[in-house]
Amino acid sequence: MNDRNKLLYLLLIFLCLSCTRNLNTDKYQNKRDNITEVGDRISEIEIDDVLIGPVARLYLIDDYLIISDPKSLDKLIHIFNKNTFSYVTSTAYRGQGPGEITRMGHIEANESQRIFYVSDHGKQIIVPYNLDSVLQNPSYMPQLKIKMNKSQFPDKYQYINDTLSIGLIIQAIGNADYKPTVARWNMNTGEITPMKYEHPDVKKKRISFAASMENSIYVECYTYQDLMTICSLDGNLKYNIYGKNWNNRGANQVHYYGKVIFCNNKIFAAYSGESRSREEYYPTQLLVFDINGDYLQTLETGYKISDYCYDKENNRIILNLDDQIQFAYLQLDGL
């Protein structure tokens, strides 16, 4: 075999290996047309006891629904019974003083110790609220848990224990810009270990993320690319899931994915696909995938979704809507 034939032979082997790799990890979904209209299954949650602003965020701990209201002028956190949606109490005073919150960020539950952690990005600290103490005394003042590095810190994270969380880490890169990276984070020491995989074709990354210990994976949903990535918890790529508009990946003018969550062994991802310059960019759809990223169903709510979370015990999605109604839930039984 002469040198030219050897080169062609090696090139053929390389191409075959590349195709095999892509077939194993890349999934192209040009049709996601299994659409179920669920607007008539959306049930309003009427809240009359406390006024809550439109950018509220939803969290769950034990039997309680936590609604954070970063724009509130007084108490920033409101607690409800998640089964009946009856109001329980409010806590977390806005302010610069000890135990007060300056600029509230993510809230994360430590279920085993009945604690929820609150990020304060004004003071760059995380403080723990003991749930039982808050229920007994809404004026409860938390102590410092950890100081965050100003140039590299967790924006959102899933708490596993004090030495391991899987988080979306924000790294400042100058010119008022930043780079988000999924990483392992040690709450005790502040040590950050970035995950291995980064998609090679995305230059400016903006994502939402969720992790599942039960399924041993985490998922990244890209805001301005029609792309979802699934990786193992050690950071190895499992699947790239490309939507039909992946070829528009460089524009950053279309809003694709919003928040992503796990519902048992399913992935739920809010999806828009509309221009960022139009009000319609708010997602109204929830795309449902299995844990391998295979598309199953589209739930069309007919409402603009601002935030949502999964209530496992009641098998329902609790929603914050930027629409005619503010809070609601979607019962998943029968879907």
pLDDT at 288 > cutoff 50:
yes
| CA 258/CA 207 separation, integer angstroms | 8
pLDDT recorded at residue 227: 97
272-301 in b/e burial notation, b at 16+ Cβ within 10 A? bbbeeeeeebbbbbbbbbebebebeebbeb
DSSP string, 17-53: HHHHHHHHHEEEE-----EEE-GGGEEE----SS---
216: left (phi over 0), alpha (psi -120 to 50) or beta: left
pLDDT at 321 > cutoff 80:
yes
Q: What is the pLDDT of residues 43-74, one digit of tens each?
A: 999 999 999 999 999 999 999 999 999 999 89
Q: Which helix (H) or strand (E) holds 119?
A: strand 115-120
Q: Return the number of other C-beta atoms located less than 10 Å from residue 5's C-beta.
A: 9
Q: What is the pLDDT of residues 133-192, one digit of tens each?
A: 999 998 999 999 999 999 999 999 999 999 999 999 999 987 789 999 999 999 999 999
Say what percent of the chain tops pLDDT 90. 83
**pLDDT band (50, 70, 90) for residue 279:** low
pLDDT recorded at residue 20: 40
pTM for this structure?
0.90
Pairing relationship of beta strands 316-321 and 305-311 according to DSSP bridges: antiparallel
